[in-house]
Amino acid sequence: MANNPSDPRSGKPAPQPRPGAKVPHARPVAAVPRAAQARKSRAPLFIVLVILLLAGGGAAYYYLRAKEEPLSKAELYALQKQAEARAAALNPTPTPTPAPTPAPTPKIAVATPTPPPVATPMPATPAPVAMATPAPATPKPLSEIEKWLTQVETTFQESYAREVQGPYDAAMGELRRSYRAALDQRGGAAGAAGKMEESVAWREERQRFFDDGQKVPPDNSDNPLAAIQPLRANFRAQSAKLEAERLARARAHFARIDAALSPAIAQLTQKQRLEDAQLLKTKRDEIQKAWIGTGAAAPSALLADANRPKAATVVPPRPTIKKYPRGDDRKAAEWVLNAGGTIEIMEGAKPQSISKVADLPKGRFAIHSVRLNFAINPPTQPIENLEPLAGLDDIITIEINKLPLKDEHLAPLTTLSKLGRLSIEGTEITDEAIGYVSLMPKLQAFRPQGSKGLTGRRLEELAGTDVKELSLQSCGLVPEAWPHLAKLKKLVRLNVRSTNVRDGDLQHLANLGDLQQLYLNRTETTAAGLQSLKALREVRDFGWDFTSGKAREELTEVARLFPRVSTYFIDGAEEYAEADIGALDVFRELRAVYLYGKAIDDKAALGLGAIKGLKAARFSSGTTITDQTLGQLAGHKGIEEITVTDAAGITDAGLMKLQPMKGLRRLEVRTCAQVTPAGIAAFQKARPDVTMTR
């Protein structure tokens, strides 16, 4: 009996047929009552058990019927054990019994017993029948977009792990190992020298390092041993550098994903496949948050750059421009001047600025530039549109500031056959404005600064124009703008100050081979991220906020990337010391420095003295320099031009400090409250050779 197979439900040995007995065909266990399997060998025990169940379980049965509730598993188990005990007492050693002589046997209606281990004590209650496990429901078929995401998941996760997370983890592991080794070495040396307190301090630092997840405290507020502090500082600096590099690589990966998703989202939206478009957008946001927001490992359904499908670029239709009548320069001039703007006309070969209607020439004239700047004072009459400018043949420049213009208001400007420069700041234009700008045939400079509704998603449409200068300062650019910007191969000047450009976006600018002027001030770009721009060898004007205290290290690398920089722009995003500004001397061809912002003070300006080849120094946008700075510049033998704008600390006395500066050729002083006409006159009298502008 030792090798008898067991009952799959109870684990007990299954009863065997008598020698020579006919073995019936096998059937599923669940379909064969247990009593039938044991009928020939255990019939007496079965009958006894049924009687006991009828007698002992009757009370429970009727009790349940009255309450209309099923027995609990515990109650059923207890009843079963009672029945088994009584059966064992009556027939403790069951033995095979010869089959009785067939005789009429009263048939007792017995319900199919419940499969072990729970027995049903109520003969009249049907027991549950063992049922096959139902097959799992058929999952909903994946859409094509979902299949795409699933297919490329593994590929891109491996790419992220190999190119981003893997190098970072390896470098951080080496940094932690080095820190632990230093702690062990210093602690061991202290112990060997019998310096108990130092030895304990090194041991406690090691324990703290492990307790904090192999990190050092963000500061030294816990007053560690003096020798520990430089080790911590080095660890913080190195880990910050590694994180910056990891973030740069993560952003580069995300930029490639985003470059694929944005056109696809636009195309799906256009086709009203909004659920698929939302699926891609949600995935893009998840990836951005995981990689760039928190620095976590690759999420669980990413797009592989190598395998992604190429979504067709959706080009919005160009706007329809109505037919405007031929322009009238006089009417247009009167409209501009009556609103509080100014115009410029050509008087012979010399431009003439006009701000009053009474100053207009009596005869014919042509407007060359229009200035509608209401940043300080509002228009003196309502301006509903720009239609009075339509059809004028000689306008070259238009500047608009603080007007509630919308995209469609640019339509009349598409009729200006010579318009080459358009500056619109503080308006309500959006990406739709690009459709109108692309229809301006001679436009070369477009400056929509401060337009938060301009996200950059349609910048690629300018690729077919002659636009060479683009200033997107303070615009609401989104990550997908940068691949579109990369298509503008004619760009010579690009200003993206105060935008969300990051290290990963810079790779899209690397192919703008004609770029000579690039401004990245007040952005999150880093020295490591600038490496993506090493192909831009023609950059001459450059603006980027280097790190105070690390200026020479960072600027040395920037000078290696852009060796021909002759003009550098500094925005006072942080306070700079004299040595920080002086580090600009690494640019061998540097001739001019622009300094902006309140953080630029006399201390920082003192660093200009270290730049021997400097020819021009320009201070603007509320710097906090005083007369002391002008006195310092007076000792520089190479400076020929000084410009000071909006500097409250400059006085008439400061101007006179520049009198002995023999090389000075031009001095411009604007909106400096303490500089008076008398002070300017006194300086001009002392230095008539200097061109003075106020």
Note the pLDDT tens digit of each residue in 477-525: 999 999 999 999 999 999 999 999 999 999 999 989 999 999 999 998 9
**Whether residue 83 has pLDDT greater than 60:** no
What's the pLDDT at 357?
94
Comparing 66-75, 176-185, 274-283, the range with the smallest average pLDDT is: 66-75
Strand partners, 422: 398, 446
Q: At a CB cut-off of 8 Å and minimum separation 6, what does 196 contact?
A: none
CA separation for the pair 643, 624 (Å, rounded) = 14
What's the pLDDT at 314?
52
What's the pLDDT at 84?
57
CB atoms within 10 A of CB 619: 26
Per DSSP, 231 falls in state: H
Coil vs helix vs strand at 464 = helix
- Confidence band of 40 (pLDDT split at 50, 70, 90): very low
**Whether residue 7 has pLDDT greater than 70:** no
Instruction: Give the residue carrying structure tokens 């115009």.
Output: 343
CA separation for the pair 220, 230 (Å, rounded) = 10
State the greatest distance between any 2 C-alpha atoms of the chain, in Å, as a whole number: 147
What's the pLDDT at 199?
86
Determine contact, residues 394/367, Cβ cutoff 8 Å. Answer: yes
What's the pLDDT at 690?
96
Q: What is the pLDDT of residues 237-265, one digit of tens each?
A: 888 888 888 888 888 777 766 766 677 77
What's the pLDDT at 112?
40
**Whether residue 155 has pLDDT greater than 80:** no
Determine contact, residues 648/629, Cβ cutoff 8 Å. Answer: no
Q: Work out whether the CA dihedral 121, 126, 130, 136 comes out positive or negative.
A: negative
Coil vs helix vs strand at 131 = coil
**Tokens for 571?**
């925005």
Determine contact, residues 578/600, Cβ cutoff 8 Å. Answer: no
Tell me which amino acid residue 439 is: L
Measured CA angle at 220 (ends 219, 223), to 5 deg: 160
Q: What is the pLDDT of residues 631-647, one digit of tens each?
A: 999 999 999 999 999 99
What's the pLDDT at 52?
42
CB atoms within 10 A of CB 283: 18
- For 492-540, the DSSP string reads SEEE-TTS---GGGGGGGTT-TT--EEE-TTSS--TTGGGGGTT-TT--
| Residue of 116 and 410 predicted with greater confidence | 410
Pairing mode of beta strands 541-543, 445-447:
unpaired
Cis amide linkage into residue 117, ω under 30° from 0: yes
CA separation for the pair 478, 258 (Å, rounded) = 10
Best CA proximity match to 299, nearest among 502, 149, 504, 481 = 149
Comparing 120-129, 319-328, 407-416, the range with the smallest average pLDDT is: 120-129
Q: How far are the Cα atoms of 259, 319, 463 from residue 479, in angstroms, in the given order?
A: 8, 26, 19
Measured CA angle at 282 (ends 280, 283), to 5 deg: 65
- Confidence band of 10 (pLDDT split at 50, 70, 90): very low
What's the pLDDT at 286?
82
What's the pLDDT at 637?
92
**Whether residue 45 has pLDDT greater than 60:** no
Instruction: Give the residue carrying structure tokens 């281990």.
Output: 117
Measured CA angle at 13 (ends 10, 16), to 5 deg: 130
**H helix count then E strand count, the chain:** 18, 16
Q: At a CB cut-off of 8 Å and minimum separation 6, what does 319 contact?
A: 408, 411, 432, 435, 436, 439
Comparing 197-211, 529-543, 560-574, the range with the smallest average pLDDT is: 197-211
Determine contact, residues 655/683, Cβ cutoff 8 Å. Answer: yes
**Whether residue 355 has pLDDT greater than 90:** yes
Comparing 72-76, 396-400, 542-546, the range with the smallest average pLDDT is: 72-76
Determine contact, residues 577/554, Cβ cutoff 8 Å. Answer: no
**Whether residue 107 has pLDDT greater than 80:** no
Question: How many angstroms separate the first and last alpha carbons of the chain?
Answer: 116
What's the pLDDT at 11?
45
CB atoms within 10 A of CB 501: 23
In SS3 terms, 389-412 reads as: HCCCCCCCEEEEECCCCCHHHHHH
Taking phi first (over 0 means left), then psi (-120 to 50 degrees means alpha), and beta for anything else, what does residue 2 get?
Answer: alpha
What's the pLDDT at 68?
39
Taking phi first (over 0 means left), then psi (-120 to 50 degrees means alpha), and beta for anything else, what does residue 604 get?
Answer: alpha
What's the pLDDT at 368?
95
Q: How far are the Cα atoms of 1, 380, 381 from residue 377, in angstroms, in the given order?
A: 107, 8, 12
CA separation for the pair 454, 500 (Å, rounded) = 13
Q: Which percentage of the chain shows pLDDT scores above 70?
A: 74
Q: At 643, which helix (H) or strand (E)?
A: strand 641-645
Comparing 273-282, 419-428, 604-613, the range with the smallest average pLDDT is: 273-282
Tell me which amino acid residue 533 is: L
Quote the mean pLDDT of the chain.
79
Determine contact, residues 160/253, Cβ cutoff 8 Å. Answer: yes
Q: At a CB cut-off of 8 Å and minimum separation 6, what does 294 contact?
A: none
Q: Which domains does the chain have, with CATH numbers?
A: 27-98+105-128 (no CATH), 144-293 (no CATH), 540-694 (3.80.10.10)
